[in-house]
Each structure stands twice: as C-alpha cells, then as structure tokens.
Amino acid sequence: VSGFSVANLPFGVAGGRVVTRFADRVLAVGDVVADPVFERPALNDFMAQGPDAWRDTRGALTQALAAPEKLAMTPAAEVELTRPFDVGDYVDFYSSLQHATNLGRLFRPDGEPLLPNWRRLPVGYHGRAGTIVVSGTPVVRPTGLIEVEGDVVRRPAQRLDIELEVGFVVGVGNEQGRPIAVDDVDRHVFGAVLVNDWSARDIQAFEYQPLGPFLGKSFATTISPWVVPLEALRPYLVPAVAQAPEPDDGLRARRDWALDLELEVELNGTTISRTNFRDLYWTFAQQLAHLTSNGASTRPGDLFASGTVSGPAPHQYGSLIELTWRGRDPITLADGSTRTFLEDGDTVVLRGWCGTGEDRVDFGEAAGTILPATG
Amino acid sequence: VSGFSVANLPFGVAGGRVVTRFADRVLAVGDVVADPVFERPALNDFMAQGPDAWRDTRGALTQALAAPEKLAMTPAAEVELTRPFDVGDYVDFYSSLQHATNLGRLFRPDGEPLLPNWRRLPVGYHGRAGTIVVSGTPVVRPTGLIEVEGDVVRRPAQRLDIELEVGFVVGVGNEQGRPIAVDDVDRHVFGAVLVNDWSARDIQAFEYQPLGPFLGKSFATTISPWVVPLEALRPYLVPAVAQAPEPDDGLRARRDWALDLELEVELNGTTISRTNFRDLYWTFAQQLAHLTSNGASTRPGDLFASGTVSGPAPHQYGSLIELTWRGRDPITLADGSTRTFLEDGDTVVLRGWCGTGEDRVDFGEAAGTILPATG
C-alpha cells in the first residue's frame, strides 16, 4: 500500500499504546523503542520530548522496518484507532484568501469581501478542544436558537456544513512571554492532521456577533487518527504565495513553510471538492508565530488549524456553503440525489496526501456520519 | 478572620496537595480524608467524583475543624497557592446588560447598543485555557499589531485593561450529545472563582472582526486560588432579574441561580469599582445550559466566566474602558496620579464575598502586577 512507507511513519494511538503504520499494518512503537511514553493512550508525552527524540524514534522505526517479518504487526483493518492526543487549546485560523473572500461576498454582499485586518495578520479564534473527536465518531446534528423570518426558534440546524482544514499539533510548547519566531516553528510543531470543522451555519449566523462563532462550531470537530510528522512533510515544504502588503517583520519568513498537500472531500462516495494546501495565504509558521506573538504560551497537544482550504476554482471550495453558493446551486451526487447542506445519514470523508508513487505520504482519512438531532 | 469559617471551606492547591482554608490557616485535605485525589497538584480528580463526594468531604472537614487544635495547619501567609485546577476549555460570556450596553455605545455609537441576539441567548466565545494563571502571577504587557492613524504597527499595547468577572468550574462533565438542563447545573458545577480577563483593547480593536477576540485576550487570564464550593454559595442564591423577552424554554429556570456576591476592584490600593454579581442578566445556570445545548460535552476543570460585571452606576463598572469612558474621563488614585488604562508596575486586585459577619464567604483575591513589554 503506497502512502505508508518509511517515508511517512505517522503516529497514532490504539489500545492505549502509541502505534505507527507501515503499508497496511500497524506496529506498536513500544515494541521497537522501550520508553514508557509509548505505553500511553495519547502522544502528548512523546511529543513533549522534542525534535531529537522524534528523529531518534523515526530512525529506530526505519531500521526495524527494514526487516518487517521480525515484527509483530496487526492488519490496519483490525485496529481501532482512538484520538491520538489530548488537545490542549484549539485555535482555528481563517487563512485561505479564496475562502475568506467567498464568505465575505456571501455574508456582506455590499461591502469589501475582506476586512482591513485580513491581509495584515492571520485572523483566528479559539475553538472547543473538548469536542475534538477522532475520525469515525458519529456527529449528532446540533440543535440551537435560529432566526427564522424574524422570529427566533430552537430547532435542529438545517444548514449543517463541513470545513476542509489542515491542523498542526504542537509538540514542544513555549513559555508565557516568549513568542515563537516564525522560522523556528519546526522546533515546536510535531506534525499535522486533517480537520473537519463541522459548522451549523444557521446557528452561527444568529449567535456570532460580536464575539465570533461559538455553538455553531463547538458541537464536534473531527481529526484524522494519524499525526503525520513534520519530518515526513519536509520534502513537500515549498515557497509560500506572495503576500501584499508585505507582512510585518514578525510574520516574515526566510524558510519555506507552504505545504504541497493534495486534499479532497468525499460526500457519500462522490468527490465534491479537490484542492491543494500550498496556496494558503498564511502559512502554519506564520500562524504559530502570530498565536504566540502576544506572549501566549503553548503546550504539547495544542492544535491549530488552517481554516477552510478553498482553491480559486469553484470545484476547489472546501465547504458546502461555498460549493453550493449558500444553497443556490445544489450539487449532484453519484446516486443522482442533490445536496445543499448535509442530510442525516450523510458521510463525509476528507483525504490528503503529499507526493506520488510508493513514497507518497498519506494523511489517511477524517470521516464522520451525521446522526439525527436528539431530544 | 471572618470569611473563611466552616461556612466556606474553599479548595485550593499548595505543594502538590489539595488544601482548604480555615480562618487564617491552611489545612491539607488529605490529612483529614485519606484519598489519593487529595495528593495531586490539581482539583480535577476530586471534582470528577461528584456532588456526594463533595458533600462528604465538606462534612468530614467540618467535623475535624470542630477541634482545630488537633490538626497540623500552616499560616496562610506562609503558603504558596498554585493554580487550583487544570483548565479544560475556557468559555467567556458577555452577560452583563450594563457592560454590553456600555461597549455597544463606545464601539458602535450610531447603532443600537445591543445586537439582536443579546437578549435571546447568553453570547459567549472560547478563550485560551493554557494561559490561565493563578493570582499573583505577573502579567507581561503584550505586544501586537495595532492600528495607529491608518497605519498598522507592532508595538506594546497602550490600552491594557482589566475585566472583573466571576468564573464557574465544572466538576462533573456531560457527555457529547447530552445537554445539561438549566436547573440541573448544581450536579455539574463544583464552585466559583474570581476572574480577571486582562484585555489589550488596542490589539483587540484591530483583530476582532469577524471571528472575535483572540490575541487581545489570550496573553493571560488571572483566577483566584480558592475555588469556593457551590455548596457554600447556596445561601446566597437569589432570584434573577426579570428577562424581556422571556427566554426560550431551554433557558428558563425554575430555581434561583443569581448569586448575591459583592465585588470590588482595587488599583494600586485605591478601590476603583464596587458592584454586585446578583444583577447579571444571564445566570451561570443559563450559561452552562446554553454552552451544552448544541450537544457539546464538558469536562472536569472546564471554566466558564460571566463576562465583565458592570452595575448601572458609573462607579460600578468592571473595566477601565467603561470607568474612564475609553480614556475621556481619567480616574484619580489615592496617590494623586491618574489612569486611563494600566501602566507598567500597576497592581490590580479583585475581591469578592457573600454575606456579612463571621459566616460570610470570602473568595479571597485575584491579583496581578503589570510588567513592561519584552523584546
């Protein structure tokens, strides 16, 4: 199986142990490297050991996997992966120029689509860490207070949407008062996951002024079970898009921090979006530098996500509100049915991969199925 | 010392152990009740045991303190209290009618001060849990991107402010998909603390549209070291203010959830604000019901705060931006100096207490001193 060669070696958790994946099999890292951090149900303690330990572990796994027949591995299909790390703080950015422009056009049709701060700094906000779930966890349709023809009623969300995102996981935090410099992020970032930031647009629309999204987002956020190490992504770090105006010194990078990562969204088996992460306006390095620029500390397990990744063409949009232009243009699935927003029973799968051939680096899947509202 | 009789018995952490306070002395709870949850540097595991265990522990402490001479206690002045619990998610509400009206007038002078959602639901957003610090921790003035006469410059915040708030700590969480009913919150809420939600108004002003406050708040939030049990606050639960329009069924309470809690703010020894918590428009019960109404789960250690508590009279405002009307009306301190916003070296102390006399229930202090910006 391509995508999970020794060029990848992602980390996950199964059965209370830290595991990695090689081809179509899963290996307990503790069977190769004896360290109590690998006998825990979360990657946090391993991530906190820092880049040298990350590289050493990768080296030991690579060496052991030169003779895979000597290792006791389990077929991936038989392994139930749990949430790979305990999430400290979760920050969601809004860093796709196309997405921010689309949403500006949809929500403020008479104004400039981008607000004055957007090109000056990576706009972001804190999301709910405690409701981040691993791929495969069902998502119950949320109920909330929604404005309907001038009245406010409590009902199940009818504009349930997805957001295709990429999230980065902090391994080594910074102390309060000591910001992370933009070109130092690889001393801190352990790896990356796919993120589906489920969004109830109708709940969000009524609640979000002036303090931002809250219950429209906080009911669930799905991440992929494998954390792909930044080390595995280095060959795919590429120059970022040009920024105008040029960002402030504190946000200007000398190294390449854009990531050439193919992304796709599947809804009930039909691919509804296909884009690439490399053109994101603000890189993850700029995001982490900004996040800490006021002196805020970070911890192992902090997650920060890109915001919806939308490319310039309509089939590259990363949310249904964009793909259907707020419901005006329904999309047709392979079975002939149409969608504006998600229906009960719908299954959404995000996928991502870097490169091609045997050594491509696969992110796996972030999948979720919508269950009907309760109560 | 009044304020810390057996009517209070707050919980804190010192030297890696759970402690309580009686008069002017501190007692290790584990010296009275043998349970490993009291030998940990955070209250989370104790809080997770639930209301019966909370009451039993309170009972055992009350009994033991009937003969305090038999207990090994330490003078409070000799004890260094650490952050009492590991914060899961931190949500900050915006539930004072006077505060929301004041900020609406200051920021949107030409519009209605309250947005259409404000009286329909408790507006709130997620803050940064990882930068919540215990009283006494210095606060470094944050640096950020600030709009100055049409230009954007990175500089230390000049409009550094406080927010007088009260926070509630979740002891027993709810599962994802199972909201907490408004009149059931005492099965979940362990207790309360004072919260100073330090705010850099100039950083906030440029960044906060459209996704809400981020770096203007995330650099530090100070909490008082003693968690006052909800059990100790029961005698001070009073009927809430009338709400118009009447809130939705899911937010309507039958029991009394407003809290008669006196609050004050001291700046460099001068009392600059004095108010009461009982008139908050949205009660903490409504806040927690709302927070979980979309199915969001909560965990032991989740903290949700009231938002700035401002009473109707100007001397009752809970932030400098309100007290000085955005700098127009400087306040004069006892030493003759004046303030619009905070200067380096300034010390702010929040205090709170319920009732009078020997059995009053004291929250203690949430204090912090401003250090100059670094870098």
Whether the ipTM is more than 0.85: the answer is yes
pLDDT of B303 > 90? The answer is yes
Among chain B residues, CA nearest to A90: B128
User: What is the amino acid identity at position A66?
Assistant: A
pLDDT of residue A108: 85
Rounded to whole angstroms, the maximal C-alpha distance in chain A is: 68
CB contact under 8 A, A212 and B211: yes
Contact B187, B178 (CB under 8 A): no
Q: How far apart are the first and last CA of chain B?
A: 44
CB contact under 8 A, B296 and A143: no
User: What is the amino acid identity at position B284?
Assistant: F
Mean pLDDT to the nearest integer, B170-187: 97
CB contact under 8 A, B211 and A213: yes
Sorted by sequence, the CB contacts under 8 Å of residue A372 that are 6+ apart come out as: A140, A141, A156, A344
pLDDT tens-digit map of B100-115: 999 999 988 898 999 9
Pairing of strands B361-371, B139-140: parallel
* Angle, alpha carbons B110-B113-B117 (nearest 5°): 125
Which candidate, A53, A25, A22, A51, places its Cα nearest to that of A38? A53
| Cα–Cα distance, B341 to B157 (Å, whole number) | 10
pLDDT of residue B115: 94
pLDDT of A1 > 70? The answer is no
Residue labelled with tokens 């409701």: A131
Residue labelled with tokens 């964009």: A322
Contact B200, B342 (CB under 8 A): no
CB atoms within 10 A of CB A110: 4
pTM confidence score:
0.98
Instruction: For residue A200, give how far its alpha carbon lies from the nearest alpha carbon of chain B (Å).
Output: 10
Q: What are phi and psi of A97, to 5 degrees?
A: -60, -40
Per the prediction, chain B carries an average pLDDT of 97
Q: What is the DSSP string of A153-205?
A: EEEE-S-EE--EEEEEEESS---TT-PPPGGGGGGTEEEEEEEE--EEHHHHH
pLDDT tens-digit map of A341-365: 999 999 999 999 999 998 999 999 9
pLDDT tens-digit map of B234-290: 999 999 999 999 999 999 999 999 999 999 999 999 999 999 999 999 999 999 999
Please give the structure tokens belonging to residue A117: 């701060």
CB contact under 8 A, B295 and A210: no
Q: How many CB pairs under 8 A join A and B?
A: 180
pLDDT of residue A203: 98
Query: Does residue A372 have a cis peptide bond before it, meaning omega lies within 30 degrees of 0?
Result: no
Pairing of strands A221-223, A189-196: antiparallel
Instruction: For residue A234, give how far its alpha carbon lies from the nearest alpha carbon of chain B (Å).
Output: 29
Among chain B residues, CA nearest to A307: B211
pLDDT of A327 > 70? The answer is yes
pLDDT tens-digit map of B61-85: 999 999 999 999 999 999 999 999 9
pLDDT bucket at A82, cuts 50 / 70 / 90: very high
- The length of chain B is 375
A374 CB neighbours in chain B (<8 A) are 177, 295
3-state helix, strand, coil in chain B (%, to 5): 25, 30, 45
Of B115, B117, B130, which has the smallest distance from its Cβ to A299's Cβ?
A: B130
Percent of chain B with pLDDT over 90: 97
Q: A319-341 as b/e, with b when 16 or more CB fall inside 10 Å?
A: bbbbbbbbeeeebebeeeeebbb
Of B115, B121, B145, which has the smallest distance from its Cβ to A121's Cβ?
A: B145
Instruction: For residue A302, give how far its alpha carbon lies from the nearest alpha carbon of chain B (Å).
Output: 9
pLDDT bucket at B2, cuts 50 / 70 / 90: confident
pLDDT of residue B156: 98
pLDDT of B375 > 70? The answer is no
DSSP 8-state secondary structure symbol assigned to residue A71: S
Q: What is the DSSP string of B69-125?
A: GGS--EEGGG--EE-SS----EEEE---HHHHHHHHHHH-TTS-SS-TTTTTS--EE
Please give the structure tokens belonging to residue B123: 């507006």
Of A120, A128, A248, which has the smallest distance from its Cβ to B296's Cβ?
A: A128
Q: B340-351 as b/e, with b when 16 or more CB fall inside 10 Å?
A: bbbeeebebbbb
Residue labelled with tokens 């079970």: A225
Contact A171, A299 (CB under 8 A): no
pLDDT of residue A2: 77
pLDDT of residue A107: 83
* Local structure of A67: helix, strand or coil: coil
Sorted by sequence, the CB contacts under 8 Å of residue B108 that are 6+ apart come out as: none
Per the prediction, chain A carries an average pLDDT of 97
pLDDT of residue B108: 85
B188 annotated active-site: no
Rounded to whole angstroms, the maximal C-alpha distance in chain B is: 68
Chain-centre distance for alpha carbon B277:
11
Mean pLDDT to the nearest integer, B88-93: 98
Mean pLDDT to the nearest integer, A231-250: 97
Instruction: For residue B299, give how far its alpha carbon lies from the nearest alpha carbon of chain A (Å).
Output: 7
Mean pLDDT to the nearest integer, B117-146: 98
A145 CB neighbours in chain B (<8 A) are 120-121, 248
Please give the structure tokens belonging to residue B285: 């019960």
Q: What is the 3-state secondary structure (H, E, C) of B349-367?
A: EEEEEECCCCCCEEEEEEE
| Cα–Cα distance, A370 to A339 (Å, whole number) | 14
Of B145, B173, B203, which has the smallest distance from its Cβ to A120's Cβ?
A: B145
* Local structure of B233: helix, strand or coil: helix
CB atoms within 10 A of CB B53: 17
Please give the structure tokens belonging to residue A202: 């109708």
pLDDT of B1 > 80? The answer is no
Q: What is the 3-state secondary structure (H, E, C) of A143-154?
A: EEEEEECCEEEE
Mutation for testing the B interface, residue in A198, A294, A299 having most B CBs under 10 Å: A294
Instruction: For residue A150, give how far its alpha carbon lies from the nearest alpha carbon of chain B (Å).
Output: 10
CB contact under 8 A, A211 and B213: yes
Of A209, A248, A302, which has the smallest distance from its Cβ to B145's Cβ?
A: A248
Q: Which of A99, A126, A290, A315 is catalytic?
A: A99
Mean pLDDT to the nearest integer, B122-141: 98
